[in-house]
Amino acid sequence: MPTNNEKKAKPIKKIKVPGRWFRHYKKLTSNLSKKRKLLLELSLELVNCTNKEELYETCLRKLQEGLGYDNAYLLLRESPREKMRLIAYRGEKVDEEEARRVIDHGIGLTGRAIKCKKPVISNDVTKDPYYVKGNDKTLSEMVVPVMCDEIIWGVLIIDSHKKDAFIKLDAQIVQVFCNYLASALTRLYQLERLKYKSNMESAILDIVTKAAREKHIEKICQDVVKELSKMTRFTQIYILKTLDETTGASQLIAGRGPGSFDEMSQIESGRGLVGKTIRARKTLYFPDVSQAPEYVEVDQKTKSELDIPIIHEDKLYGVLSLESPELDGFDQGDIELMEILAKHLGVLWAYSDLLEKTKREALKDPLTGLWNRRHFYDCVSKEMDRHKRQNDTFCIVMVDLSKFKEINDTYGHSEGDKVLIQVGNFLMQRIRSSDILARYGGDEFVALLPHTQKADAQIAWSRLANEIQRIPLGDHGLHISFEYGIASYPEDGTRASDLIKAADEALYIQKRTQKKVLRAESRPNPNNQRATHL
């Protein structure tokens, strides 16, 4: 039996839909299906793209084939640090300079889309105050940002020669399209960064391996800068040696860049970002050097700078300084890789210093700390080579302590050693920084005086011989004198051995003369029965 409700129900009348509405609906659903199919095909193709050029071509081809717009332009950046530029287009070519101006100044519909990070549509550009005129035929324009994880890779600009060419659904479809593109760009960029990091790590290993074969830190740093400049985009690379941590003073030992002497002198004096890094003893990154008041301009193209201290076991050896022509030109990966390189450099620097110290100690007299005879002969040979180039003269002074044996016999060898050390210190404090002083053996010292005439050497060492007699030495306050002999190059010889022999002979003559004087002074004086004993 039918219920009361069933009895009351009335049949639904058949709704008549006008044919034009049905055809319009069918067209919309057909277009929507076509666009969804386009997005599906595009997503599948983008996954298989292995390089950016293929990616751009695929995007624009699919866009024009599937949506049928008149012009399409891709303005993208190659990496998050770089500026956007026209990468690819379909349809009529656009003025690249004008496109760059729109991007740089953030104007037009493009500027609005980048600023608000949303699609912007103008269905009548003739009445849109934001529109920047490009193509005379363009009547409608849609700009959609290419974004992924808040990184704006660029924009897709679509032009139509018709008014009211775009609907909200078009913007949604193209936005999905741009999201696919941004995801693909991010994936490719990450792959490139991984490849770059892997290559850099291998290159750093190669650099360190090659550099480890060198013994001198200057050559090591020069090799590092040379190899680093080949494999990076950094326009300037410098390695500076720390001279004073308090002032930030440094010395350039290797570099690739256009820096002038005056500019580098300012940096070496402790001014600039390198000096700041030395004082801070930590990595400092300046993404925009124009905002750093300490910056000293070496190259007007420099926009960002990275300075990394070279430290090993808490000793600051120097700074690895890199500059880029791009704002924010270094990413976290760059910083990490350069810090790894700086750590390796610190180890190599410490090892080089150890070798130099060991070498110096092998060339030093263990008692006085002065150079030994072997090193002295090497210095004389180098000075002779310099003379051949510059036609200059130099002198050698041989020194012998008077009655030194009596000190050992009377007070012991410990007292004699103290006297030798103090005589060495006395001479070192009074000779020029360019002079070389060595212990020749026993109680004999020898000095090399570059750029010195014999007459000038005679005056200087006569003064020293008189001065030392007034200074108490050793624990017993002993007063001592010395004799000396001077030989001049090339007047007295053209070989090191000949010069040493000539200086030794001059010393012997002075000793013999001194003994005659002493004997004369020791004879009895008929007017005074007491004799003077020296």
Q: Is 172 helix (H, G, I), strand (E, B) or coil?
A: helix
End-to-end CA distance of the chain: 155
Q: Which of 84, 93, 98 is nearest to 132 (CA)?
A: 98
Average pLDDT over residues 177-204: 84
**pLDDT for residue 247:** 92
Comparing 8-22, 87-101, 373-387, 434-448, which segment has the lowest mean pLDDT?
8-22
Q: What is the DSSP string of 68-112?
A: --SEEEEEE-SSTTSPPEEEEEESS---HHHHHHHHHHT-HHHHH
Q: Which of 54, 301, 282 is nearest to 185 (CA)?
A: 54
Average pLDDT over residues 347-367: 89
pLDDT band at 49 (very low <50, low <70, confident <90, very high): low
Name, of 50-54, 209-213, 368-372, the range with top average pLDDT.
Answer: 368-372
**pLDDT for residue 364:** 92
Q: Print the SS3 string covering 327-350.
A: CCCCCHHHHHHHHHHHHHHHHHHH
**pLDDT for residue 514:** 67
User: Distance of alpha carbon 470 from its chain centroid, rounded?
Assistant: 54
pLDDT band at 199 (very low <50, low <70, confident <90, very high): confident
**pLDDT for residue 192:** 83
Q: Which of 33, 53, 55, 35 is nearest to 45 (CA)?
A: 55
Name the average pLDDT for the chain. 84
Comparing 167-181, 243-257, 308-322, which segment has the lowest mean pLDDT?
167-181
Average pLDDT over residues 181-199: 84
User: Rounded to an integer, what distance in angstroms lies between the CA atom of residue 273 and that of residue 444?
Assistant: 50
Average pLDDT over residues 15-20: 47
- For the cut 70, the answer to whether the pLDDT of residue 92 exceeds it is yes
**pLDDT for residue 24:** 47
Average pLDDT over residues 356-360: 84
Cite the beta strand spans of 337-458 per DSSP E. Answer: 394-401, 436-441, 444-450
Residue 370 φ/ψ region, left for φ over 0, alpha for ψ in the -120 to 50 degree band, beta for the rest: beta
**pLDDT for residue 511:** 85
Cβ–Cβ under 8 Å, residues 512 and 506: no
Average pLDDT over residues 443-450: 96
User: Rounded to an integer, what distance in angstroms lies between the CA atom of residue 197 and that of residue 189?
Assistant: 12
**pLDDT for residue 178:** 87
Of all residues in the chain, the percent with pLDDT exceeding 70 is 85
Domains and CATH numbers, the chain: 28-191 (3.30.450.40), 212-360 (3.30.450.40), 373-521 (3.30.70.270)
What would the pLDDT profile of 371-422 be if each residue is shown by its tens digit? Answer: 999 999 999 999 998 887 777 899 999 999 998 999 999 999 999 999 999 9
**pLDDT for residue 306:** 97
**pLDDT for residue 524:** 47
pTM of the model: 0.59
Of all residues in the chain, the percent with pLDDT exceeding 90 is 47
**pLDDT for residue 210:** 79
pLDDT band at 531 (very low <50, low <70, confident <90, very high): very low
Residue 524 DSSP code: P
pLDDT band at 97 (very low <50, low <70, confident <90, very high): confident
Comparing 28-37, 74-83, 344-353, which segment has the lowest mean pLDDT?
28-37
pLDDT band at 41 (very low <50, low <70, confident <90, very high): low
**pLDDT for residue 39:** 63
What would the pLDDT profile of 458-488 be if each residue is shown by its tens digit? Answer: 999 999 999 999 999 999 999 999 999 999 9
Q: What is the DSSP string of 263-289?
A: HHHHHHTT-HHHHHHHHHTS-EEES-G
Average pLDDT over residues 9-13: 51
**pLDDT for residue 265:** 67
- For the cut 80, the answer to whether the pLDDT of residue 262 exceeds it is no
**pLDDT for residue 520:** 42
